[in-house]
Structure 1
Amino acid sequence: MDERKRESIVAYLRRRMTEFGTRPEDIAVSMAADTERLRAIRYRDAFGHTWDGRGASPQWIIQATSAGQSLEHFVVERPQVEASDKLTRVKRCDDPFAGTRLASIKSEGVEAA
């Protein structure tokens, strides 16, 4: 994404945060809670049921294993995060803001990060 589009997206998000009274600290706390919750999930089925692997097995696990499904089938794969200093290029056809008003908005009185 080029710098101009990035700045428009940042300006848009800051404007919306101001409208809703959201602070960056609120988002950081929410993201940390989501990360912790997702880290705890060890098993998930196609219907979105989850289990952290602690305590008694939930009913959906009992039913699936009784029907012959292995527990390993439900293991949540943790994505391998690779550190990269390079920004990945986004194709224009994959950019959700391409051709929209957000791609051309100038930051209006919004402090720079």
Structure 2
Amino acid sequence: MDERKRDSIVAYLQRRMAEFGIEPDDIAASIAADQEQLRAARYRDATGNTWDGKGDAPQWVIQATSAGQSLEHFAIGATTAAESMKSNNVDWRDDPFAGTRLATIKPERLGAG
């Protein structure tokens, strides 16, 4: 972002903060509270909703589990079966055939000729 755009955005934000009586400390406290909530979260959905697993389940958890989804699907830090089956030790950037016709030929076509 160029310097003029940045300065313009900063000036706009400062005006809006003054208009609503928001102090920089208020923003810092809000960011800290959000980060703490994310650290405490044990479950997260695709839209970013989180739940710490304590108390009553939020509506998004109730809807998902009622629809047949397991709670473990939303666990933060848990690996799914598909992720655990991935081979993480292959670096395809060094593939000598990448971008060539050989990279697009299906294996069944490579059999007996």
- Normalised by the length of structure 1, the TM-score is 0.49
More helix by share: 2
- Normalised by the length of structure 2, the TM-score is 0.49
The structure, 1 or 2, with the larger RCO (C-alpha pairs under 8 Å, 6+ apart) is 1
Larger radius of gyration: 2
